Amino acid sequence: MTTDPLDLLATMLLVRRFEERCAELYSGGQIRGFLHLYVGEEAVAAGVCSALGEDDSVVSTYREHGHALARGAEPEALMAEMFGKVTGCSRGRGGSMHLFDRSLRFVGGNAVVGGGLPLAVGLALGDALQHRPGVTACFFGDGAMAEGEFHESLNLAVLWRLPVLFCCENNRYAMGTAISKEHGRTELALRAASYGAAAWPVDGMDAVAVAEAAEQAVAEIRGGGGPVFLELQTYRFRAHSMYDPDRYRAKDEIAHWRERDPIELLGQRLRADGRLTDETLARMDEEVMARITAAVDQAAGEPDEPVTDLTRFVYSDGSTAAVAGGPR
């Protein structure tokens, strides 16, 4: 594996603390709308994105804060977007579910279940037709595999041997529906393999395992092998969204998965290898918390978009000036 596990740990800490702060801000009424947190699933974003290069694209879901941060998005721009400020990565128009950063080829979150899958196939087709080296990583949940877009997208990607990395974040629940009540066959990698794609399950709570699997998958795709499907077996520690009372999961089930906290697991491994001390981890955590606190303070003072700009990027007068200065 080419990625340093310490870098994976730093990424996961950034995602965890960002999410926890967003939960506090939401409860205090400073962040509004919908909020779907990534707590518990950090190893997936950190591991997959560590295997991607600058020419690759990322298509995400409505639980995309972790993906954006792991891709390299600045927490200041993301927090401003959470606050709905014009300095946010989507000029305050996207909010939590529609983060976007063209400079990182982060093609945005998507509020529609499975909605990013056709987009990923289209991006990969464009790269293939123009002989660009890019791989498109598409994140989606197990619930998206019940949507028609999944079957159509995977089938086309296999037929055309497109450079798509399908990243199924199997957190065992589609909103409040357990996977056993959602799919007749719960071995999702086997279902994907039936279309002819290379596919295998991965321990999504182990950041190193995810990074290794992602590197192997990306290498196969770049070698012309066509799309690869990874079933990343993970678990969200919090409810589906901040509106969700979370009454469909047993407390002992949640407690069991919390024992496999990806940050704790990697920390234990690094301590055993002599590469991490409690003091070093505490210092890393303090630095992350300080940056997030600064991002919150900065976002709170940023301007809202002027009312006169509300139709900007919605209607065009046909001039080039109408599209200048759009979202990143």
Domain ranges of the chain: 5-323
Superfamily per CATH, domain 5-323: Thiamin diphosphate (ThDP)-binding fold, Pyr/PP domains (3.40.50.970)
Q: Of 181, 179, 161, which is closest to residue 171 (Cα–Cα)?
A: 179
Examine the pLDDT at 308 and tell me if it is beyond 90: no
The pLDDT value recorded for residue 328 is: 54
- pLDDT by residue (tens digit) across 145-200? 999 999 999 999 999 999 999 999 999 999 999 999 999 989 999 999 999 999 99
Element (H, E) at 57: strand 57-59
- Dig out the tokens for 75 from the structure: 């927490």
Residues sharing a CB contact under 8 Å with residue 4, sequence separation 6 or more, in sequence order:
none
Backbone angles phi, psi at 201, to 5 degrees: -80, 155
The pLDDT value recorded for residue 309 is: 86
**Span 105-126, mean pLDDT?**
96
pTM recorded for the entire structure: 0.93
The pLDDT value recorded for residue 312 is: 83
Q: How confident is the model at residue 201 (pLDDT cuts 50, 70, 90)?
A: very high
- CA distances to 33, 40, 41, 152, 206 from 18, in Å: 17, 13, 13, 35, 20
The pLDDT value recorded for residue 323 is: 47
Examine the pLDDT at 86 and tell me if it is beyond 60: yes
Residues sharing a CB contact under 8 Å with residue 63, sequence separation 6 or more, in sequence order:
36, 37, 38, 41, 141, 169, 236
The pLDDT value recorded for residue 146 is: 94
- Dig out the tokens for 122 from the structure: 């289209």
Examine the pLDDT at 325 and tell me if it is beyond 70: no
